Amino acid sequence: QGQLVESGGGLVQPGGSLRLSCAASGSIFSRYPMGWYRQAPGKRRELVASMANGGRTYYATSVKGRFTISRDNAKNTVYLQMNNLKPEDTAVYYCNVVSEVLEAWGQGIQVTVSS
C-alpha cells in the first residue's frame, strides 16, 4: 500500500505540451516500476508509459515519440512530458505501479486537448 498524488494537467491546444508529475511514497517507488495510465470516458484504462528502476521504458504505440517518462529517485517522483498533444490524448491520467497488484488509484488529473 502507498499513496500517489498526481499534479499538472489542464486544457491545452492541439500541438501543445504539458508535463505531469506524480509523487509516490518511497516504499512503492523503490519496489516496482512506475507507470502512467489514462482513461477516457467509455474506454478502459490503458498504460501509456512506464519506467523500471533500471531505466527501461515502455510506451504505448499511440504516444511513442511524443511522450517521455522520467523519474527522480531522490524525490520519489515520476514525470510524464507530453509533446505534440492530440485531441485523442484527452483523458484522466493516473500514475501507479506496473504490477499484477496495483496500489489504490489516486484522483488522477484531467488532460483536455481541444482548440
Strand partners, 52: none
Q: What's the chain's average pLDDT?
A: 94
Q: Within its chain, how far is the Cα of 33 from the centroid? A: 12
The set of cell numbers assigned to 18 is 504539458
Per-residue pLDDT of the chain (115 residues; tens, 9 = 90+): 678 999 999 999 999 999 999 998 877 787 889 999 999 999 999 999 999 988 999 999 999 999 999 999 889 999 999 999 999 999 999 999 999 888 899 999 999 999 9
Instruction: Name every residue whose Cβ is closer than 8 Å to that of residue 54 and which is 6 or more positions away in sequence.
Output: none
- 72: amino acid identity, one letter: D
